Amino acid sequence: MKKSEMSSRSLEERRIFLQHLELRGWEVNSWDEMLDIGANVDPEAEAIYVGPIFELHLEYHAEAHYLGLEMVQQQGERILFLRLYPRGDMESLLVKITSAQDMLDSENYPELIKSLIPLCDPLLIETDQGFHRLE
């Protein structure tokens, strides 16, 4: 999506996404230069956090209004990919994810996913058969 096509809500959510994650130690890619010259960018922002067990990749997709969350083991094996469509404000999702970022391991990450479900409408998980809603 081009910056000129983004709504004021999308621009504000993008700003919150970048600011929140950068303040919590994530490496953010804002694509500001590309957006400022009128390029079509998707996702409109993304960030990576290298935790003790997992790398977390988070994307902001303005047009479809969702966050993409990917969890990857340090050895490179992808654990999961979620599409998080915020039920309310996006910052609640960011707070929940970043509060768990340093504690996630192979036994407790399902608890994070369960805690995200009430904050999303819907929360979709990618499987070999496509995306499925978690409830």
Flag whether pLDDT at 76 surpasses 90. Answer: no
Report the percentage of the chain scoring pLDDT > 70.
Answer: 100
Whole-angstrom distance between the N-terminal and C-terminal Cα of the chain? 30
String of DSSP letters for 20-70: HHHHTT-EEE--HHHHHTT---SSSEEEEEE-SSEEEEEEEETTTTEEEEE
The token pair that represents 88 in the structure block:
């309310």
Number of domains in the chain: 1
Find the mean pLDDT for residues 74-102: 94
**Which domain covers residue 38, as residue numbers?**
3-134
pTM of the full predicted structure? 0.93
What type of residue sits at position 20?
A: H
